[in-house]
Each structure stands twice: as structure tokens, then as C-alpha cells.
């Protein structure tokens, strides 16, 4: 994504009811995109693919209000304790979830969801880990996305299928703004998470949820790369 596109995209997503925007640290323009999106009224910008303390400092300097990591490690959890914005850690196993919970995290990203067994695995997590809520991302398509909301420990779902790529490529901001309404009509009223170009999503939360959209049951959010 180029910087000139960042601001109008953020404006369209916010106007459409998806104000939480995650920008992944995977491209040279990522930090500049965060800065531009953060200028949009109502936008809550965060950083994704955060892997170390340097990424965290860069995120804060760019105006981010939350961070998302693909996994957990002692160092990244230690670094997050010294940062003033919340982290959503990624986990794939009960042991990793327990490690994060011991450090005070009750909202976690389940990633990559489908490669790790999908909804049946998260369903199995619910009983032994009743105090942890998940946002599954990775390999989830529109059909599978309708399954996850029925689980008691899922607050939102993420996937690249949410955003029409052709609308982004053509700069059709009106269509992007209207897209959330279409998603809700398709049965995604549980809450929407979006990352453009890379399946992922998040309701950020360390110790307690930070951001919710009252217009969508259980919280709605959007993510952009």
C-alpha cells in the first residue's frame, strides 16, 4: 500500500463502521501508512507482525494505539510491559495460551487458525481455558468464518476475504465504505476484523478489551496492510 492511498482508505473504513486499522510491519511504507491513517478522525491504528522492542517503539512513534504479534516469547512479553499501548499476542497451543495468561493476557490471537486445526481446536480450548478469548486468523474463508462465531471463546474473526481487492486497487472508496453493511447482511454480525492482503484480525486486549464498536455485536474492527 502506498501512503497516498492510506488516508482515503482509512476514511472509508471508519465511515463504514470499521475503525480499528492494523498495519503490518512487512513493507517499507508501513510506518508512514500508520502515520497517515492515524490522522483520520475516529481511526484506531495499530501495528501488526510486531516481533521485538524496536518494532514496539516504532509503533508508538507512528501513533499506534495497539500492537499484534504473530507469536509469543519471553522477550516480547517483557518488552510489552514497558510499552504504554496493548499487545495482542499470537498463540497456537494451550501451553502458549497459558504462558500468555500467566502474564495477564486474556485476549489472544489464534494463528494460523486453519493450519492449526481451526474451529474444532478452539472449541476444545474452551473448557480448559475458560478465561481466555480468541481472535482466529489465518486461512479463514467466508464459509469457515461463519463457524467460529458460534464458539463461546471467539470474539471476532479475521480474513483477507473481507476486503474487495479490486475496490482497493481502483480506489473505489464508496464501495469500501458500503462493504461492512454487506458483510453484516451475510451473517457476520458477530464482529468483523480485516487485514488487507494478509489474513489476520484482532480485537486488542491485555488484561481487558480496549476497543469495541457499539454498532456491531461483540465488537467490530478492520485492519489494513
77-114 as b/e, with b when 16 or more CB fall inside 10 Å? Answer: bebbeebebbbbbbbbeeebbebbeebebebbbbbbbb
Q: Which residues contact 41 (CB under 8 A, 6 or more apart)?
A: 14
Q: Which residues contact 81 (CB under 8 A, 6 or more apart)?
A: none
Radius of gyration of the chain (CA): 16
Beta-strand pair 20-24/44-48: parallel
| Distance from C-alpha of 3 to C-alpha of 167, rounded to nearest angstrom | 17
**Catalytic residue positions?**
22, 109
Amino acid at each position: 500500500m502506498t501512503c497516498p492511498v492510506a488516508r482515503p482508505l482509512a476514511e472509508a473504513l471508519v465511515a463504514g463502521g470499521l475503525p480499528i486499522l492494523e498495519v503490518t510491519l512487512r513493507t517499507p511504507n508501513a510506518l508512514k501508512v500508520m502515520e497517515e491513517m492515524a490522522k483520520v478522525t475516529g481511526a484506531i491504528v495499530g501495528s501488526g507482525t510486531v516481533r521485538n522492542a524496536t518494532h514496539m517503539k516504532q509503533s508508538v512513534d507512528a501513533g499506534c494505539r495497539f500492537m499484534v504479534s504473530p507469536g509469543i516469547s519471553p522477550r516480547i512479553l517483557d518488552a510489552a510491559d514497558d510499552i504504554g499501548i496493548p499487545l495482542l499476542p499470537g498463540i497456537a497451543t494451550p501451553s502458549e495460551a497459558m504462558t500468555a495468561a500467566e502474564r495477564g493476557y486474556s485476549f489472544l490471537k489464534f494463528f494460523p487458525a486453519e493450519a492449526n486445526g481451526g474451529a474444532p481446536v478452539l472449541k476444545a480450548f474452551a473448557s480448559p481455558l475458560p478465561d481466555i478469548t480468541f481472535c482466529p486468523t489465518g486461512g479463514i474463508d467466508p464459509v469457515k468464518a461463519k463457524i467460529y462465531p458460534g464458539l463461546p471463546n471467539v470474539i471476532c474473526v479475521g480474513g483477507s476475504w473481507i476486503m474487495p481487492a479490486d475496490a482497493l486497487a481502483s480506489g473505489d472508496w464508496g464501495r469500501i465504505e458500503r462493504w461492512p453493511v454487506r458483510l453484516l447482511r451475510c451473517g457476520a454480525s458477530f464482529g468483523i476484523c480485516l487485514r488487507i492482503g494478509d489474513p489476520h484480525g484482532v480485537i486488542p486486549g491485555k488484561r481487558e478489551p480496549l476497543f469495541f464498536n457499539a454498532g456491531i455485536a461483540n465488537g467490530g474492527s478492520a485492519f489494513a496492510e
